[in-house]
Amino acid sequence: MDWIAMATGFILILMGLYGALTERNILRIIVSFTVANTGVNLVLVAVGYMHGRTAPILDKTVPVAEAVARIIDPVPQALVLTAIVIGLGVTAMMLTYAYKLYEEKGTLDVSKCRDLKW
């Protein structure tokens, strides 16, 4: 059962990349990137999971002495917390550029933006 989260993450990455590569509307591309980003986070968290263990927070039910045998790996969780925040910043910036693109060109269709095409 442990592989379900990881498989879902991989499927989300593939779905996101498919959307980012085939869509023409920049807003849809941004949403696709967000989906792929979520997939990466899910895979990372799934790697840190260990069967039958609990969250890395020490309290009455998880005493300090038993921590090593009772908690899952805290490092991927810290990593994913960082990744989520940075992902949000990146998404906000992509949306800003989409807004500027619409203001300049009057369209959200990236195939109509041919400035860098020769």
Partner 1 sequence: MIRNFAVFLLLLGLGAIFLHLLDGYVPASELNQTARYYAEHTAQDLGAANIVTAIIVTYRGLDTLGEVTVLFLASTIIGMVLAQGSKRQRALQRKLPASGELLTTGSRLLVPLILLFGAYVFVNGHLTPGGGFQGGAIIASAALLVLLTDPLKRFSHKLIALVESISGLVFVGVGVLGMLLAGGFLDNRILPTGEFGALFSAGAIPLIYSFVGLKVGAEFTSMLTNLAETEKS
- Residues in the site for partner 1, rule: CB under 8 A? 2-3, 6-7, 10, 13-14, 17-18, 21-22, 49-51, 55-59, 64, 67-68, 71, 73-75, 77-78, 81-82, 84-86, 88-90, 92-93, 95-97, 99-100, 103
* Shorter beta-carbon distance to partner 1: residue 3 or 118: 3
* Shorter beta-carbon distance to partner 1: residue 75 or 115: 75
* Shorter beta-carbon distance to partner 1: residue 83 or 118: 83
CB atoms within 10 A of CB 38: 18
Q: Which region holds residue 50: left if phi is over 0, alpha if psi is between -120 and 50, else beta?
A: beta
Distance CA 84, CA 24 (A): 26
CB of 30 to partner 1, least distance (A): 13
Going by C-alpha positions, the residue among 5, 8, 35 that lies closest to residue 19 is 35
